[in-house]
Amino acid sequence: MFGRSIYVPDNPALIGGSPQAVHEQLWAQGKRRRLQVRGGLAALGLVVGTVLVDVWFGLVAAAVIALADTLYYLRQRMASSVWRKGQRGERRTSTVLRLTLDWRGYRVLQGRNIPGRGQIDHLVIGPTGVLLIDNQAVSPDTDIAAYQDTLFVDERSGAKMAATLRERADAAAAMLADRLGGEVAVEAVAVIHGGHLAKGLVEADGVTLIRLHRLPGWIRRQRIRFSPEQVATIAEAAHRLPISSQAIVVR
């Protein structure tokens, strides 16, 4: 994992000293402590359950506590898996969008490029509008929240990141309008992989930041804006957007 390969380009995230490598080292060092705490909690559940009810109830309580603790840390590991691998999350988001929206009348384009503005990870076109979706993988200890409609990342302003994403969405809207001969609003969305995202969804500085598991339902709950015919027309125009040379997923 941490060596070099003549076949696969070096990934900075997997080199010793990187935040990901340090995180892996600390995680491995904390394994014994996690097991001790899990065992202590399970033992406490066994004693309390036995005293209050009987030994069988105590055993069940101990097993449930141990399982809950295991699932808690498993969820933490899964939430940070994209960041730990040095990825941005395009493949994971692409799979979720394809499985949940394709058959509901939505068109999902992947890996397009806006000249001078950068890459579009995913462009979702459907009855509820047009969304430009970007992926952001952050470290497990990153806090993302909004205060008075202002985005904050670890108590620092996230206005620059939000502005970049809005500009990309506006550029996509301008290109679609040029092809369609009429205005089409494009909403900017960032899927956050890892970190702590307040309530799983933050809306600030004109951008929506959301967890991947909440994205499909959130998209479908927006108000209906386009008929199936309009969706097809917009999707046809969007297909003319150039394909990004750096895209991981193209469709």
Tell me the C-alpha distance between 195 and 139, whole Å. 5
Question: pTM score, two decimals?
Answer: 0.82
CB count in 10 Å sphere of residue 42: 21
Q: Which residue has the tokens 């959301």?
A: 210
Tell me the C-alpha distance between 137 and 195, whole Å. 8
What mean pLDDT do residues 219-227 have? 95
On the question of pLDDT at 5 being above 80, the answer is: no
> Residue 191's beta-bridge partner residues?
135, 210
For 183-205, how does the pLDDT look when each residue is reduced to its tens digit (9 = 90+)? 999 999 999 999 999 889 999 99
Laid out side by side, the sheet with 196-197 consists of 156-157, 150-153, 143-147, 196-197
Tell me the C-alpha distance between 178 and 45, whole Å. 65
How confident is the prediction for the chain on average, in pLDDT?
Answer: 89
Taking alpha carbons only, the member of 160, 152, 116, 161 closest to residue 134 is 161
For 60-101, how does the pLDDT look when each residue is reduced to its tens digit (9 = 90+)? 999 999 999 999 999 888 888 888 887 889 999 999 999 999
Architecture of 88-238 per CATH? 3-Layer(aba) Sandwich (3.40)
Q: Where are the domains of the chain?
A: 12-79, 88-238
